[in-house]
């Protein structure tokens, strides 16, 4: 915070603000415009200030992790895993520095910790005194949004730290949002089988390297945990202290630590709704109940928070840090990978762009299927594979390549696998369809239909060299279409007010047969809240609202994507969640007080 303030990247707000929605509305405007971090010094109902947006740009994330830019993270890991030398004495000596870095990984126990300068025990515990934010209007309550949740395997003693949202339920209890794939769930299940409670600590704040590490998709390597990753990034062993009421190591430099337990014999509690990182609300569901036995803190703590929701948000830059950090490991396993990127519109797991050095037919599918098997990449929904000269961070350039080099049907492939449990559109909870798009330059064996071994002599480029999109008034009408437009790249974007089963498929059949479809390669059907003039909004909606196996199909010469809401009459049995929208009264209040807060007019 001190460093950001020195650089003019942190603003103090002394005007009283509410932890319920008001801070969210201000912070949301800031992060979407690349504005500074904020320190709210006067939060109504709490003695503690709130810091938000500390990692709100990729430059600030790099600064927090001690590198000049995020590519520096990849270089650090590449240097560590490349223990080369060929066996000579000189070669072996060249690895000493790298091995010394690796030895910094285990944390070190300290006797005195700033995080334990103040201690609340028993009846002293009152979570309402901590300025936990209610972020969005339909949220089920206040949520800790940067929690470092620490548990220990009851059998092996191996530590885990993860970032799982924490809903405050009462003065001394919270929900514990452990999803089925998470390590915390596995630890709780082991505790249940052993007939014992699971000790838990929730650290809030401290070293940004550890906050980042809690979000990183670490591989299951013995001895490698989040403390070790933070220690490696810092170049020194991470300081930890033993908990006051739990036998767990907690970050010695945290701002707050909640200590307690989850009893696996207890009934789970209803948690949520929560305005989630997908930009939609996660609906209420049953999750474990965390009992807080003690709260420890610094003498003058600052409560750090983030907000998640409609992208781009602060979490996009943490995701980008993980991309850079784990690129060398991905390349070690799949060496033809040149680069990869998870754009904000895909909210991490919904969309992956990967460029490769291609040397044989079918290699794009080999790489995509390999990625589906790498850790949390198993949740990826759409993977687009590109030639090595395509810049994967150029969103528009990637989709141009798709229309140029990917024939619907010939160069698209659907499969199935695990899906993030927060995905509301999949065919089942945590299970659904996936799509691979091969947008690489085709080899002769890849051109033509699967029914014939004879190549199609039409060549590789699929989009017309000169396609002129039609004006909206020249496009066909259809029941429920509120807005539509075509792009020069061959995309047809439609906002549909859906009122009946099968409406999107009927629309696709009509539009694909219309003369206006000539030169179009993708028909993107969105819900009625989508701005067809905003390509990021279109893809964000599409990717959230499809199960690729059910909702993406070849219609005539184009690929149709049904990103409209699914209805019970179509066999969709789960409740469809709303998009996150801020309460208009809060928006008006922030607009009215913007100058009173002392915030820049240019970021209003």
Q: Which residue has the higher pLDDT, 464 or 342?
A: 342
What is the SS3 assignment for 70? coil
Distance between CA atoms of residues 542 and 216, nearest Å = 26
Nearest CA to 287 out of 305, 258, 262 is that of 262
Residue 439 pairs with which residues in a beta bridge?
Answer: 386
What is the SS3 assignment for 409? coil
Distance between CA atoms of residues 202 and 310, nearest Å = 26
Average pLDDT of span 349-378: 95
Asked if the model's pLDDT at residue 284 lies above 80, the reply is yes
**In this predicted structure, what is the pLDDT of residue 87?**
46
Q: Which residue has the higher pLDDT, 457 or 101?
A: 101
Distance between CA atoms of residues 581 and 280, nearest Å = 9
Catalytic choice (276, 411, 547, 562): 276
- Whole-number percent of the chain with pLDDT over 70: 92
**Residue 88: pLDDT band with limits 50, 70, 90:** very low
**pLDDT single digits (tens) 209-234:** 999 888 887 776 666 788 888 888 88
Handedness of CA 86, 92, 97, 102 (dihedral sign): positive
Which residues make Cβ contacts (< 8 Å) with residue 588, sequence separation at least 6?
Answer: none
Task: Give the best-scoring range by mean pLDDT among 65-69, 79-83, 539-543.
Answer: 539-543
What value, to the nearest 5°, has the Cα angle with vertex 314 and ends 311 and 319? 90
Q: CB of 438 within 8 A of CB of 406?
A: yes
**In this predicted structure, what is the pLDDT of residue 459?**
47
**Residue 449: pLDDT band with limits 50, 70, 90:** low
In angstroms, the Cα distances linking 372 to 319, 365, 552, 553 are 17, 11, 19, 21
**In this predicted structure, what is the pLDDT of residue 71?**
84
Distance between CA atoms of residues 294 and 420, nearest Å = 33
**Residue 91: pLDDT band with limits 50, 70, 90:** very low
**Residue 462: pLDDT band with limits 50, 70, 90:** low
Average pLDDT of span 439-451: 85
Asked if the model's pLDDT at residue 342 lies above 60, the reply is yes
Exposed e or buried b per residue across 433-447, where buried means at least 16 C-beta atoms within 10 angstroms of its C-beta: bbbbbbbbebeeebb
- Whole-number percent of the chain with pLDDT over 90: 77
In angstroms, the Cα distances linking 22 to 25, 278, 601 are 5, 21, 18
Distance between CA atoms of residues 24 and 309, nearest Å = 10
**Residue 67: pLDDT band with limits 50, 70, 90:** confident
Q: Which residue has the higher pLDDT, 388 or 454?
A: 388
Handedness of CA 587, 593, 598, 601 (dihedral sign): positive
Q: Give the largest CA-CA distance in the chain.
A: 79
Average pLDDT of span 470-499: 95
Average pLDDT of span 547-552: 96
**Residue 376: pLDDT band with limits 50, 70, 90:** confident
**Residue 75: pLDDT band with limits 50, 70, 90:** confident
> Using CB atoms within 10 A of its CB, is residue 496 exposed (0-12), middle (13-18) or buried (19+)?
buried
Q: CB of 494 within 8 A of CB of 524?
A: yes
**pLDDT single digits (tens) 286-337:** 999 999 999 999 999 999 999 999 999 999 998 988 888 888 888 989 999 9
Q: For 373, which DSSP code?
A: T
**In this predicted structure, what is the pLDDT of residue 80?**
65
Average pLDDT of span 383-388: 98
Distance between CA atoms of residues 362 and 380, nearest Å = 20
- Two tokens, residue 595: 């100058």
**Residue 568: pLDDT band with limits 50, 70, 90:** very high
Say whether 126 is catalytic.
no
**In this predicted structure, what is the pLDDT of residue 463?**
53
**pLDDT single digits (tens) 188-212:** 999 999 999 999 999 999 999 999 8
Q: CB of 160 within 8 A of CB of 225?
A: yes
Which residues make Cβ contacts (< 8 Å) with residue 454, sequence separation at least 6?
Answer: 448
Asked if the model's pLDDT at residue 265 lies above 80, the reply is yes
**In this predicted structure, what is the pLDDT of residue 184?**
84
Distance between CA atoms of residues 334 and 76, nearest Å = 19
> Using CB atoms within 10 A of its CB, is residue 383 exposed (0-12), middle (13-18) or buried (19+)?
buried
Q: Which residue has the tokens 């003369």?
A: 515
In angstroms, the Cα distances linking 89 to 97, 191, 413 are 14, 49, 50
Quote the mean pLDDT of the chain: 91
Average pLDDT of span 266-276: 95
Q: CB of 204 within 8 A of CB of 148?
A: yes
Distance between CA atoms of residues 375 and 70, nearest Å = 21
Asked if the model's pLDDT at residue 454 lies above 80, the reply is no
């Amino acid at each position: 915070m001190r460093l950001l303030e020195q650089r003019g990247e942190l603003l103090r707000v002394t005007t009283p603000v509410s932890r319920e929605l008001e801070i969210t509305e201000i912070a949301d405007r800031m992060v979407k415009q690349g504005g500074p971090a904020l320190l709210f010094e006067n939060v109504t109902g709490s003695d503690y200030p709130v810091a938000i947006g500390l990692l709100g740009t990729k430059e600030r994330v790099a600064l927090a992790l001690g590198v000049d830019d995020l590519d520096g993270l990849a270089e650090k890991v590449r240097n560590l895993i490349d223990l080369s030398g060929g066996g000579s004495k000189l070669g072996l000596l060249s690895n000493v520095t790298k091995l010394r870095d690796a030895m910094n990984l285990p944390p070190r126990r300290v006797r005195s910790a700033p995080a334990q300068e103040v201690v609340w025990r028993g009846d002293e515990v009152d979570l309402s005194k901590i300025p936990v934010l209610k972020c969005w209007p339909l949220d089920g309550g206040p949520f800790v949004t940067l929690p470092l949740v620490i548990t220990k395997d009851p059998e092996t003693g191996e530590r885990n730290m993860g970032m799982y949202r924490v809903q405050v339920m009462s003065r001394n209890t919270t929900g514990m949002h452990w999803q089925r794939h998470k390590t915390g769930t596995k630890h709780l299940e082991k505790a249940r089988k052993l007939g014992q409670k699971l000790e838990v600590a929730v650290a809030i704040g401290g070293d940004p390297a550890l906050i980042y590490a809690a979000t990183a998709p670490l591989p299951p390597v013995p001895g490698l945990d989040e403390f070790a990753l933070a220690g490696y990034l810092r170049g020194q062993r991470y300081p930890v202290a033993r908990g006051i009421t739990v036998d767990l190591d907690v970050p010695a430099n945290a701002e707050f630590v909640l200590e307690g337990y989850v009893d696996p014999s207890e009934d789970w509690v209803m948690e949520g709704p929560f305005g989630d990182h997908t930009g939609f609300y996660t609906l209420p569901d049953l999750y474990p109940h965390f009992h807080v036995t003690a709260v420890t803190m610094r003498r003058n703590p600052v409560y750090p928070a983030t907000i998640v929701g409609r992208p781009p948000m602060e979490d996009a830059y943490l995701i980008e840090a993980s991309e850079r950090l784990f690129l060398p490991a991905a390349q070690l396993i799949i060496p033809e990978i040149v680069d990869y990127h998870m754009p904000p519109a895909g909210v991490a797991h919904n969309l992956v762009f990967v460029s490769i050095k291609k040397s044989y037919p079918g290699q794009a599918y080999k790489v995509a299927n390999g990625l589906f098997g790498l850790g949390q990449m198993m949740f990826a929904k759409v993977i687009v594979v590109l030639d090595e000269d395509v810049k994967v961070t150029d969103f528009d350039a990637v989709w141009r390549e798709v229309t140029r080099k990917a024939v619907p049907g010939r160069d698209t492939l659907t499969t199935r696998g695990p899906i993030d449990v927060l995905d509301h559109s999949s065919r089942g909870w945590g299970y659904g369809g996936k799509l691979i798009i091969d947008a690489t330059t085709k080899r002769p064996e890849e051109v033509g239909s699967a029914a014939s071994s004879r190549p199609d002599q039409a060549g590789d480029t699929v989009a017309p060299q000169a396609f002129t999109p039609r004006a909206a008034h020249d496009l066909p009408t259809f029941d429920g279409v509120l807005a539509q437009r075509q792009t020069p790249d061959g995309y047809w974007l439609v906002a549909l007010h859906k009122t009946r089963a099968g409406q999107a498929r009927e629309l696709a059949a009509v539009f694909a047969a219309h003369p206006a479809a000539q030169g179009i390669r993708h028909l993107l059907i969105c819900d009625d809240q989508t701005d067809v003039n905003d390509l990021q909004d279109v893809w964000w909606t599409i990717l959230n609202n499809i199960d690729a196996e059910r909702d993406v199909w070849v219609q005539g010469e184009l690929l149709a994507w049904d990103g409209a809401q699914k209805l019970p009459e179509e066999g969709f049995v789960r409740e469809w969640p709303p998009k996150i929208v801020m309460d208009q009264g809060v928006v008006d209040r922030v607009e009215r007080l913007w100058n009173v807060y002392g915030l820049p007019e240019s970021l209003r």
